[in-house]
Chain A
Amino acid sequence: MSDILRLPAEELYKNELEALIRNEKEPVPSGWKMSPKSVLTYIMGGKSGDTVITPKYMGDRRIVEICIATLVTDRALLLIGEPGTAKSWLSEHLTAAINGDSSRAIQGTAGTTEEQIRYSWNYALLLAKGPSHEALVKSPVYTAMESGSIARIEEISRCASEVQDALISILSEKRISVPELSEEVPAKKGFSVIATANTRDKGVNEMSSALKRRFNIVVLPAPADMETEINIVNTRVAQLSDSFGLTAKLPDRTAVERVVTIFRELRNGQTLDGKVKLKQTSGVLSSAEAISLLINSMALAGSFGNGVISDSDLASALQGAVVKDDSKDKAVWAEYLENVMKKRRDCAGLYAECKERNS
């Protein structure tokens, strides 16, 4: 096991990427490491020669096809969705497969400046020697243009509007100008941008329509059905617990099913059978949260319990995940417990634990 907390996708799935490149039969677009079809196989899973490719994204194949086709046409790609719908995950894996390098990423925050999108200077060198190539500090977008690869911009809507606007010229002209050196750097073939944005976040800067027009927009949905979501949660929990070296046993199917059921019901505002209407919580309760919840309870069980996730571990983790905005969520959770969970016979233990914690 590696001692790095989180390996980038291209390291983690090195074998798969190599196998796909080795067995490539289709034409490869310039600047790409493999053909669009192989990228699709890498993301959706399948087989390449003898190597089994694990699925990275579980969901609608068409969506991934649209994403890849967008990048083939040198258009920029904007992934939109609720928190936890695998936007960043998908963008990381797309760049890992297309360029073999997912590291050219900018994290959008309220403090991101235009320099971080374009370029900045090593001021010591700048003062000492004046503007020169050595003094230039290139942004990930800059290097991506130079090398003809894909840059990632995470949470683009958290950046201030003027920073977002810096992208407009880059995306339409496909070149970056450095007036200090009286130079213009044209993008090589293969350059593109994948940006992600949240639909549920508060305090974001709405993207201008000028910028939106330069992107092909793909909306990532929450998992369509229970089975897919259970599958996603199971796979990721196993992967994560492996890389964290957790000692507890993996959660059994009923535990996962219960968590996913609770999350789906609260997210959709009704029970799975559609018979009871429910209030929704302030949080989104995404599959990503379900995963971290289960990892959390595994850690609890491993460190302080007997190594098997008990109702009590699950209840603690659920309490933390569901009740975010104290007064309102607490009432919603209490109502859910009384109206839905109490009536499910097999959940009696979990119900009692949850109730105790929510009181």
Chain B
Amino acid sequence: MTVYYGVRHHSPACAYFVEEFLSRAKPDVLLIEGPADLSGLIPQLCSPEVELPAAILAYTESTPVHTLLYPMAVFSPEYAAMRWAVRNGVEVRFCDLPSYCVLSTISDKSEESQESGSPSIYERLESAAGMDNSSFWEYCFEQCESFDDLTAAVENYGRELRNFSEIAPHDLLREAYMRRIINECESAHPDGNIAVITGAFHTAGLKDVPYTERDKELTEHLTSVSSKATLMPYSYFLLSRRSGYGAGCKAPGYNELLWNCRRSGDIRESSAEYLASIAAYQREHGYCCSTAEVIEAKRLADTLATMRGGKLPNLADLRDAAVTCLGHGSFSEISVACADIEIGTKIGSMPEGAVCTSVQEDFARQLKELKLQKYRKMSAEELSLDLRENLRVKSEKAAFLDLERSFFLHRLSFLKVSFCTQKPRPQDNATWAELWELRWTPQAEIEIVEASLKGDTIEQAAANAVSLKLSSADSVTDTAELLDAAFECGLTECVKTAVSSVQRQTSECSSAAEIGKALGTLSGILRFGSIRRLDAGDIPELMEKLFLRFCLCIPAGISCDKIAADQLSEAVSAVNDACIAHDFLDGTRFTNLLLDIADSNAASPFLSGFCCGILMERGLISTEKLSELISRKLSPGFAADGALWFEGFSKKNRRALISRLSVWEKLCSFTAELSDEDFKPVLVCLRRAFSEYTPAEKSDIAENIGEALGISKHAAAEYVNASLSTDEQQSINELDDFDFGDI
């Protein structure tokens, strides 16, 4: 005989009465809605070492990766049934469409939107019941006191749902498949009992529709993709977000509370339990929350439930009562407590060996080897690394533990696994220090599984990912950054390939800005790379090539607008740093180049000023030449150009600039001769130029200008610090509307 039990996924009531159903039915075979090809995972899932929530994850083996999740919690009826079967030695199997078939349909329709336009059956149900679906379920089913009440109600519910909605072709196919499996079981056990546990919606379709040859035809040739499956730990947080399995579950924490109340004997305790938990949470976090308020909240919740036609308060009633009485009318006061109680922070765990992909195993192994296991938890924790050799330990492995950790974490972050995030360095120039934030989430586990498509170990996957990106990187800057990434990940082979790609691309690239930036990146690798104990090899040679290319390319691009000039100045600055750091680059050539740009009248004034600034900073320009340049560039009649030039000029070397009185005298006479109309753009540029200076520097500048104008220090300070008159304020405000035009 075949008996059916309809459930709602993640319903504690259904899970609670599953045992009664099974002990009455005494099945020889138990069939559960779930991918038929993954029945093998059931014993593992039910082993006592597995802590729920956990999920069965099926994924396609080729990109783009599609995944299919079947999450389970302690209050899932399916899980309760599986536990029962395993405990009683009853054969238990999944009977729904195999995962490879479902995955293949997902990949097919990934193009179009998942949901159709018409309101779903649940939306219609909500408008008919006047409350949301989960409230309706809670009143009518979750609060049932006996097995018979519940099964009768649920069966009716499933049947009505079918009458009201059009059944999707995919569901028809699933039911045909399930009927076929049931039929096969029946023929295999002609005298045995078979129990079938599925969603209530399908139960009616299985029970009322007889198995026919057509079902067999339909399910004979299923589409498929090559896929794999694994178990993975899951979290209540994800369970509340994703609804991969059936209707999902908005409040797993609350469901667990209901489940515990059921098991301890009285579902009526649940409302007091919920409200008291909220109150306890509030008290723990420093809010005042009296027992009297909890009592009032309970009374209000009960009244609300009666008004809405329920026997016991449901979650919505409880929440409303909690907001009114415990939150004093505002949800924000108790929102954190609600999230904690209703959703919860629980995450599951798997024993070692239960995970199936090699990358997952590699991840677990590396965590152990690198002593990072304690970071495998939901709360974020910081880890600071010292990449230098630790001289106080014996083995070489221990000496470079932090370096290995850094490689590992860099590889993970390159693979976009959200387990770790690098934070800015605690100290500016400590190149041997790294600061990471580690936080394990089920999401990270999924990302690790996805990484398995790229390789069998994390190192391999990272190397493949770098190579893949290298092959599609088309600018020299990107490639250089990938080279840097390969360096950080400690991928020796990739470093070599990246170097040769940079080499190849250099000769094709003619953008000085990009070459300059790439040169800066390489210089960084060369300077700080030794800490990573990787062979720099061809990099100096490559840099020389890039440097030459930069010197050849830049003259063609110097007459440009402000945006391009900004980029070029960054590149010039990077190359300048590289020149200072590495003797093998031709410094004289670079100096001459800078002199040319500084002297050129055609160059962008900003860039020209910037180059001049570098030369002054490094003392590579004679005083006469400098004063000639300053007077020329600040010629009257070229107001906007002059101001832009000064902006570039002042970008680099503040102290050197401030100490040069002659510069300020020139600037004063330049601004003094401007017409009112020309003064505005100049003022805007100067304000921009000085905006990055510290107050102390600004006051030094004011003193300099005061001296240039022949005003005493004190008078200057007094004038500068005086508050603005209304007229002055207004003219400054008018500048807000200044039209920048070409500047």
Contact = CB atoms under 8 A, between A and B. Distances in A.
Interface of A: 36-37, 40, 62, 65-66, 68-70, 72-73, 75, 78, 80, 209, 212-213, 216-219
Interface string B523-563: 00000000000000000000000000000000000000000
9 contacts: A36-B307, A65-B307, A69-B303, A70-B300, A70-B324, A209-B288, A213-B290, A213-B292, A216-B296
A227 to B, nearest CB: 17
A213 B293 contact: yes
Nearest to A62: B320
A209 B307 CA distance: 29
Interface in B338-384: none
Interface string B325-337: 1001110000000
Contacts of A209: 288
A62 B320 CA distance: 8
Interface string B282-321: 0000001010110010011001100110000000100011
B300 A40 contact: no
Contacts of A68: 307
9 tightest Cβ-Cβ pairs between the two chains A and B: A217-B329, A69-B303, A219-B329, A69-B304, A73-B299, A216-B324, A217-B328, A72-B303, A36-B307
Contacts of A69: 300, 303-304, 307
Given A216-B324, A219-B330, A65 B304 contact: yes
A219 B316 CA distance: 17
User: Which of A68, A78, A216, A218 has most chain B Cβ within 10 Å?
Assistant: A216
Given A69-B300, A75-B300, 4 more contacts: A37-B307, A62-B320, A66-B321, A73-B300
Nearest to A61: B130
B552 to A, nearest CB: 47
B328 A73 contact: no
Contacts of B292: 213
Contacts of A216: 296, 300, 324-325
A68 B308 CA distance: 12
Contacts of A62: 316, 320
A68 B299 CA distance: 13
Contacts of A75: 296, 299-300
Contacts of B320: 62, 65-66
Interface residues of B, number: 19
Contacts of B300: 66, 69-70, 73, 75, 216
B279 to A, nearest CB: 14
A70 B325 CA distance: 10
A213 B304 CA distance: 20
User: Which of B288, B293, B325 has most chain A Cβ within 10 Å?
Assistant: B325
A66 B324 contact: yes
B328 to A, nearest CB: 5
Interface string B250-292: 0000000000000000000000000000000000000010101
B296 A66 contact: no
A65 B329 contact: no
Contacts of A73: 296, 299-300, 303
Interface string B404-442: 000000000000000000000000000000000000000
B289 to A, nearest CB: 11
Contacts of B299: 73, 75
A209 B290 CA distance: 12
Contacts of B288: 209
A206 B290 CA distance: 21
Nearest to A80: B329
A218 B308 contact: no
Contacts of B303: 36, 69-70, 72-73
Contact of A65 (B293, B308, B325, B328): B308
Contacts of A212: 328
B333 to A, nearest CB: 10
B85 to A, nearest CB: 43
Nearest to B301: A69
A73 B324 CA distance: 13
A217 B324 contact: yes
B313 to A, nearest CB: 10
A40 B324 contact: no
A209 B287 CA distance: 13
A218 B330 CA distance: 8
Contacts of A80: 329
Contacts of A78: 329
Contacts of A66: 300, 304, 320-321, 324
User: Which of A40, A65, A66, A72 has most chain B Cβ within 10 Å?
Assistant: A66
B545 to A, nearest CB: 49
Interface string B143-181: 000000000000000000000000000000000000000
Contacts of A37: 307
Contacts of B307: 36-37, 40, 65, 68-69, 72
B548 to A, nearest CB: 49
Contacts of A213: 290, 292-293
Contacts of B328: 212, 217
A70 B293 CA distance: 13
A216 B298 CA distance: 12
A65 B324 CA distance: 12
B296 A218 contact: no
B326 to A, nearest CB: 10
A212 B326 CA distance: 11
A199 to B, nearest CB: 10
A68 B300 CA distance: 10
A230 to B, nearest CB: 22
Contacts of B293: 213
B696 to A, nearest CB: 35
B296 to A, nearest CB: 6
Nearest to B320: A66
A62 B288 CA distance: 26
Given A62-B320, A73-B296, A218 B329 contact: yes
Contacts of A70: 300, 303, 324
Contacts of B325: 216
B713 to A, nearest CB: 40
A216 B321 CA distance: 9
A218 B324 contact: yes
B577 to A, nearest CB: 40
Nearest to A71: B303
Nearest to A68: B307
B3 to A, nearest CB: 40
A65 B131 CA distance: 13
A68 B288 CA distance: 26
A156 to B, nearest CB: 14
Nearest to A29: B303
Contacts of A36: 303, 307
Contacts of B329: 78, 80, 217-219
A216 to B, nearest CB: 5
A62 B130 CA distance: 11
Contacts of A217: 324, 328-329
Contacts of A219: 329-330
A356 to B, nearest CB: 23
A205 B742 CA distance: 58
A10 B348 CA distance: 59
Interface in B33-62: none
Contacts of A72: 303, 307
A36 B325 CA distance: 20
A75 B304 CA distance: 13
A288 B318 CA distance: 32
B369 to A, nearest CB: 50
User: Which of A65, A69, A213, A217 has most chain B Cβ within 10 Å?
Assistant: A69
A212 B307 CA distance: 25
A260 B300 CA distance: 35
User: Which of B290, B299, B329 has most chain A Cβ within 10 Å?
Assistant: B329
A103 B378 CA distance: 58
Nearest to B316: A62
A217 to B, nearest CB: 3
Contacts of B290: 213
